[in-house]
Amino acid sequence: MSNQERNNLYPVFLKVKNLNVLIVGGGNVAEEKLNFLTKSSPDAKVTMVSPMFREATVKLAERYCVTMVTDVYDVKYLEGRHVVIATTDVPKVNVQVWKDCRAQAKLVNVADNPPYCDFYMGGIVTKGNVKVAISTNGKSPTTAKRLRQFFEEVIPENVDDLVKNLNEYRKTIKGDFEEKVEVLNEFTKGLIGKKEVEK
């Protein structure tokens, strides 16, 4: 398999409550991005800049920590932002956002335009403390959606109890890091994986 054929993205889980996120745009795509972000991270700090906002976007924003600024995009809105998402229906504006972010070393995602993305917003499954993120390297959101539905079904609802119990158990294990890992590996061998299928 050549490098072109594999996903070289490095997955990270951002504490977006500690970061300032900017969404440029106020249409359907902006609302979709805000919805994904707040669903996964209800404590995300978000600012939206757009000459107009859909009524549904305003209602969604009111439920979370979202500041809405009615204005056209200007480079001044990048000040203090860590992550920027451009969603306008004017390609020239989106490219300008990308250029400005590049100049200031800010992470940027231009919606539906992979060459202008430092990161993608993939499919996400959350069950308590367990979160699974799915990426198709920006090639197929539909595949990511299907995989998300699959993982939502196969990850047991009580997986959070397992995580909490193992966290408590880990505290009681004696020895160094390697010994603890070995004990936990042995202990968890049969806990995940084998599902009985009734016929």
CA distances from 63 to 34, 69, 146, 195, 197 (A): 11, 16, 28, 39, 41
Let me know if residue 49 belongs to a domain.
Answer: yes
Q: How far apart are CA 50 and CA 63, in angstroms?
A: 19
Same structural domain, 173 and 110: no
Stated pTM of the model? 0.82
User: What does the pLDDT read at residue 184?
Assistant: 72
Strand pairing class (45-50; 66-70)? parallel
Residue 192: predicted pLDDT: 58
CB 107 within 8 A of CB 100: no
Same domain for 57 and 73, yes or no, is yes
Domain count, the chain: 3
Name the residue range of residue 178's domain.
Answer: 159-188
Same domain, 12 and 100: yes
Q: Which two tokens stand for residue 6?
A: 């594999």
* Co-location of 26 and 101 in the same domain: yes
78 and 53 inside one domain: yes
pLDDT at 193: 54
Per-residue pLDDT of the chain (199 residues; tens, 9 = 90+): 555 678 999 999 999 999 999 999 999 999 999 999 999 999 999 999 999 999 999 999 999 989 999 999 999 999 999 999 999 999 999 999 999 999 999 999 999 999 999 999 888 999 988 999 999 887 888 898 899 999 999 888 888 887 787 777 777 877 887 877 777 777 777 665 544 444 3
Q: Which amino acid is at 3?
A: N
- In a shared domain, residues 49 and 106: yes
Which amino acid would we find at residue 16?
A: V
What is the pairing mode between strands 107-110 and 123-127? unpaired
Residues 96 and 138 in one domain: no
CA-CA distance, 25 to 77, in Å (whole number)? 12
